[in-house]
Amino acid sequence: MTGSAACKPTDPWLAYSVTVDQVTPETPGVATYDLIFTDNEVAARYTFLPGQFNMLYLPGVGEIAISISGDPTNGDRLPHTIRVAGNVTRTLAGLAEGASLGLRGPFGSSWPLAGNVGKDVILIAGGIGLAPLRPVIYELLSNRHLYGQLTLLYGSRTPEGLLYPGEYDNWRTRGLDVQTTVDRTTDGWSGNVGVVTTLLERMALPRSAETVLFTCGPEVMMWYTVQSARECGIPDENLYVSLERNMNCAVGLCGHCQFGPEFLCKDGPIFGYDRVASILKVDDL
């Protein structure tokens, strides 16, 4: 599947019952929850595109938007990589395998893969920002022949904060150049040290005009990433960011996620940089 038209739920307000099939600890305070639908018919018709998110609902606690971090071609389970950051995520972190919760989705826009066939693709992630990009990696590697050079540049505060390290060798074998860096080294780390943009600045980009860049992570990281990419010759129209502020309803009604003229849950979370450049660095919009 290489389409970029976002999949939409038939009824955006209907929450389906899912159970926690498996919990995989990732980094301190972060775990991946594999969810499965209790209704086989719902499972059979559910599809999502890389970059989309679900609303996870815990009765009596609340609801939260979480990006889907699994393989779009595997409908048997829906991985969501979650960092403990508030009441809902703290409660989610306490769920054991077999626990039930509600799920609405999928929502939002997706990374534009279909429109960039034939181009070199650079993915730049910071911290938990790799989770929304992992479905892109699965899609790219499943359709490796459709794209040029594939590169993942991934930064974390410490080596212990790097997500999915057990998958890197497999990704490399299948044609993805994986480069990692950390802000602070620890004993045993022999890799790169420094901010992730330095990895981009070191790259040779012979086809910069035919290179597309997807980035996800802290907004300040994405801001500096796109500035470095522009200096490297990547056109503004080939730069895409994922913005995920305060998404509460997923359909653009509550207004909590308004970002300038955009509603992140409905118009995003994936945006072309040229669409949000004027407001990306403005705080508290």
Residues making up the annotated binding site for [2Fe-2S] cluster are 249, 254, 257, 265
SS3 178: strand
Provide the phi-psi class of 71: left if phi over 0, else alpha when psi is between -120 and 50, else beta. beta
Find out whether 180 and 192 touch, Cβ atoms under 8 Å. Answer: yes
Find out whether 239 and 226 touch, Cβ atoms under 8 Å. Answer: yes
Find out whether 71 and 140 touch, Cβ atoms under 8 Å. Answer: no
Q: How far apart are CA 163 and CA 79, in angstroms?
A: 13
For 205, residues 6+ apart whose C-beta sits below 8 A from its C-beta are 120, 211, 232, 233, 234
Binding site residue list: 249, 254, 257, 265
For 283, residues 6+ apart whose C-beta sits below 8 A from its C-beta are none
Tell me whether residue 127 is exposed, middle or buried, using C-beta atoms within 10 angstroms of its C-beta: 0 to 12, 13 to 18, 19 or more: buried
